[in-house]
Amino acid sequence: MPKDFLGRIVYILQNNGASYLTGARNTMVIAVVSTLIGCIIGFAVGIIQTIPVRKNDNIIKRIVLRIVRFILSAYVEIFRGTPMMAQAMFIYFGSAAVFGINMSMWFAAFFIVSINTGAYMAETVRGGILSIDPGQTEGAKAIGMTHVQTMLYVILPQALRNVMPQIGNNLIINIKDTCVLSTIGIVELFYATRSIAGALYTYFESFSIAMVIYFVLTFACSRLLRYWEDKMDGSDSYDLATTDTLAHTSGLYNYPDKKEEEE
């Protein structure tokens, strides 16, 4: 074992690089898949929580919605108000001890991170939907669109753009928070690093490598998501589509660059 810091770093990478790569791969798979599932859960919960209830609605509909919303609110508050590590221990070990359900470690890992992400995304989606101008909904209803059509074709496309930064934030958080899954035996990046450090007694060097890997993963994901956000924004200059051939709309919406405004 070399005595200098850089020499030990090189030695660890030469002998345990495969373990780091396996841990990083498992971390990314869990984070990406669970974030996608969590977003689906969050959108479903957020949409249900924003279904309008009117006094003239069927009483059965109002009762069912109140019960469902109470259950969903409890789910959101419980999983937002407790740490993921406690949730992992409770779900993985508790389900086997109390209900006799023996989950595989991988199923438990995806399940835990997904429902945790879904709880945070539910409130984000609810806020994103409510942030859309009510006039959008009123206009859609005025032309005969149902609530489902209004949500699918008018509200959700706009809400999705509003919540994109939070989706990216949740992905980055999940990349880091997968380390808590080491408590149930998942060999992710933190688990692999701890094993290497314990075997070689090189805690500082081993975790220095892990920190660099975590930073590379989160930074790359944040740049890719920022690029996707920019693509969703579309062009700064576009033409308004119209069926009136007499109306000249070319260049009607043209937003100058910031540099031009400053000049």
Contact 20, 192 (CB under 8 A): yes
Could you give the count of Cα atoms lying within 13 Å of 95 in the half-sphere of its Cβ?
Answer: 15
Query: Which pLDDT score, from 0 to 100, does residue 262 have?
Result: 54
Check residue 191 and give its pLDDT: 93
Residue 56 has a pLDDT of: 79
- pLDDT for position 74: 94
Rounded CA-CA distance 140/255 in Å is: 27
Q: What is the pLDDT of residue 157?
A: 84
Of 30, 33, 76, residue with least CA distance to 184: 30
pLDDT at 132: 84
> Could you report the per-residue pLDDT of 40-97, keeping only the tens digit for each?
999 999 888 888 777 777 888 888 888 999 999 999 999 999 999 999 999 999 888 8
Residue 75, both tokens: 């789910």
Residue 247 has pLDDT above 50, yes or no: no
More confident residue, 250 or 75: 75
Q: What is the pLDDT of residues 131-158, one digit of tens each?
A: 888 888 888 888 888 777 888 888 888 8
pLDDT, greater one: 157 or 106: 106
* pLDDT of amino acid 195: 93
pLDDT at res. 252? 46
Average pLDDT over every residue of 194-202: 91
Please state the three-class secondary structure of the chain as a single string: CCCCHHHHHHHHHHHHHHHHHHHHHHHHHHHHHHHHHHHHHHHHHHHHHCCCCCCCCCHHHHHHHHHHHHHHHHHHHHHHHCCHHHHHHHHHHHHHHHCCCCCCHHHHHHHHHHHHHHHHHHHHHHHHHHCCCHHHHHHHHHCCCCHHHHHHHHHHHHHHHHHHHHHHHHHHHHHHHHHHHHHHCCCCHHHHHHHHHHHHCCHHHHHHHHHHHHHHHHHHHHHHHHHHHHHHHCCCEECCCCCCCCCCCCCCEECCCHHHHHC
Place 246 in a pLDDT band, splitting at 50, 70 and 90.
very low
pLDDT for the residue 4:
86
